Amino acid sequence: MEQGKKEKTSALIKVIEGGPLEIKGNFILNDLKRDITETPAEVYLCRCGKSSEMPFCDGSHKKF
């Protein structure tokens, strides 16, 4: 993607009770440095802070 141009994206974000955020669709995930991370059509992002795969969920929330 050329700098200054924005690509149209869309995603469905679902809060899973007691679990992660489920994100599905056509989206771009940037890291803290604003670098683009290759993203599949579906990801689960950690909300408990215990994942060893941050920012992605690894199921650690199930231990609490």
Q: What is the pLDDT of residue 22?
A: 97
Spell out the domain ranges in the chain.
Answer: 12-63
Q: Which residues contact 59 (CB under 8 A, 6 or more apart)?
A: none
Per-residue pLDDT of the chain (64 residues; tens, 9 = 90+): 455 556 666 899 999 999 999 999 988 888 777 777 777 789 999 999 999 999 899 999 998 7
Q: What is the pLDDT of residue 48?
A: 96
CATH tag, 12-63: 3.40.5
Q: How many CB atoms lie within 10 A of CB 24?
A: 15
Q: What is the pLDDT of residue 51?
A: 96
Closest CA to 28 of 45, 13, 8, 3: 8
Q: What is the pLDDT of residue 40?
A: 77
Q: What is the pLDDT of residue 10?
A: 86
